[in-house]
Homo-oligomer: A and B are copies of this chain.
């Protein structure tokens, strides 16, 4: 009788279950437990108060989907060994482990090392501690494993990462646009010539997935008030660094993995609260604004803003999103007759014109009049 651990998760009918002792051991590792204190969507909770969910829950959710996907593929006759199953599961479980607090924001200021590299460092450290049990996982993650489709389950246009975060972010924000019919998509996965593909019957589900992703992009991930909050935090961190106050400072040359692993969302927010009492008026004001949610005003435009003042309170930026990246891995559809074509050809709804269309928007933020 195998030992099963049940983890509660509102996204998947209340819970998911794990029975591989190696995976359970990895979940208990401090690098992994730390993700309990890093929110998946950073400051988004200032716009969607429910969006407090953590990277920890996302990583377990992605693991859960990986388990289902592997089972579906095996049922369709795709050969996957037990070692490969474990490898793919560990790879998805750890694919984001290197993210720091408010990652997409802070990375630009605090940490001089891309999170992908930190992820690999952490995976290797855990692998050393576990005597090489993660070898296959690391190869799959780094796309050096012979069966390429296993990597695609971890990272591609239709990977378990995206499937989980779209559904999860939708659940916790309450934005129904992100509901993607995860179960149905997974049940339609298949492998053809070592490529992850989607069975013909799954075309509509993939269409919906692509569109949902686009809508979530604008409605949540690039919500203008979230952008304004991010800019505010960025300016706080920049100012703290400029006046040599910040204690969060990670350069590649002196990078200390364990010290990095100790920093999470809480540290940033406590620092921001303390800086409300700083001698520096700029820093004081910025921090006060974040703590009490006095966010900058922000204007969005289809044309760049020109000749605008840029300091700790004002600035500009650019946003762009394309539904589907042709340079990235393509989503392929497998027909019953054996043909395998790109979704842009297979879909009647989403032609190349729609999919390639890149939407670019410019923003300008500045203090709200009080």
Contacts and interface: CB of A to CB of B under 8 A. Distances in A.
Contacts of A17: 187
Contacts of A183: 13-15
Number of copies: 4
Interface string A237-271: 00000000000000000000000001001110110
Given A214-B349, A353-B353, A204 B177 contact: yes
B219 A215 contact: no
Interface stretch (A46-54, A126-134, A279-287): A46-54
A33 B291 contact: yes
Given A183-B15, A266-B266, A291-B33, A173 B204 contact: no
Contacts of A218: 204, 348-349
A293 interface: yes
A40 B197 CA distance: 36
Contacts of A292: 28, 30, 33
The size bracket of the interface on A is 35 or more
Nearest to A293: B33
A362 interface: no
Contact of A28 (B2, B4, B77, B293): B293
Nearest to A12: B174
Given A49-B8, A270-B266, A291-B30, A359 B353 contact: no
Contacts of A77: 1-2
Given A1-B77, A215-B208, A14 B179 contact: no
B54 A53 contact: no
A369 to B, nearest CB: 15
B49 A9 contact: yes
